[in-house]
Structure 1
Amino acid sequence: MHNNRAHHLLEQVPLTVSPFVSLPTATTLSYNYKTMPSTIPPSSLGVATASDDPSSQPKPKYIVSSSGHAAHPDDIIASCRALQAHITKMQEDAERELREFQERIDKRELAEKRRVAPGWLDSDARMLEPEKAGGDPSLMDNESEEQKVVTSQQAAVADEGAALDRAFGGMALK
């Protein structure tokens, strides 16, 4: 071993090659390979990382995702809370907008109903009743003499011959 030779006992053991084992090979870098920057830009999620606050000691990032991103559990919890707050705000905005939309529809329908029947929805009374005029007698009470004569004639003449004479005129026999 001192002169770059293996031990004489090891030289006697035969080596076998297994088809299931592949030894790692050296990777070749692309011709346009660029090194990574030494500083990473701030998070786009707005969550402060350990590198953003110089007063705090860096937290060990021992949770590693399959993509290679590493984070501390506190950072993950903070980003989850920020996401939950964002989703809650979006849901409240959507509910408020839906209520406003429903109120606009109700106002539009109420205006249409008031246009069709004014006064109907303005009070708790749900029966519309005509108001009687103060001293005017009813029109039915004020029948003229001509109308009374016509109605009495119609009642008196009930036979079919008279009805035909009225319709086609009288025919006198000569």
Structure 2
Amino acid sequence: MHNGRSHPLLEQVPLTVSPFVSLPTATTLSYNYKTMPSALPPSSLGISAASDDPASQPKPKYVISGSGHAAHPEDIIASCRALQAHVSKMQEDAERELRELDARFKARDLAEKRRVAPGWLDSESRLLEPERSTPEQSQGIGSVPEAQPVQGERNEPAADDQGAALDRAFGGMALK
């Protein structure tokens, strides 16, 4: 190897020829073999290829990854911007779809509440107040008018007389 000579130790190893090992031979080319052109011919359709434009000539790919992939820095930046645009579009679509889903859930919930309590959600008053009944409304079909106290009787509170309270609540049960 030094000065065109091989290593002295390798010169001492005899070479043997094995009948079982055949060395590769040169391939013979076909008689109609033609070399490939270095550039593609122009399109027969009249469409200009990207390589026809001198501004779009391939840029030197001097950024080389560990896997052996090579690219120009502008190509890398363009692919990163395209990826960022794609991710932001996907995020906007997902947020829009989430808002639509939330609106559908709220509409379904509102429809269920209106089914259970119709008219309740249609007005702004949210406090239920019972209407006070007048004495004419309290005396219905089966109710007995209250007896007027006699002058000799003491006027006790109605809560002590449980029978009278029951008669007022459920109507009188007059004996015949």
Question: Structure 1 length as normaliser, TM-score?
Answer: 0.50
TM-score (norm 2): 0.49
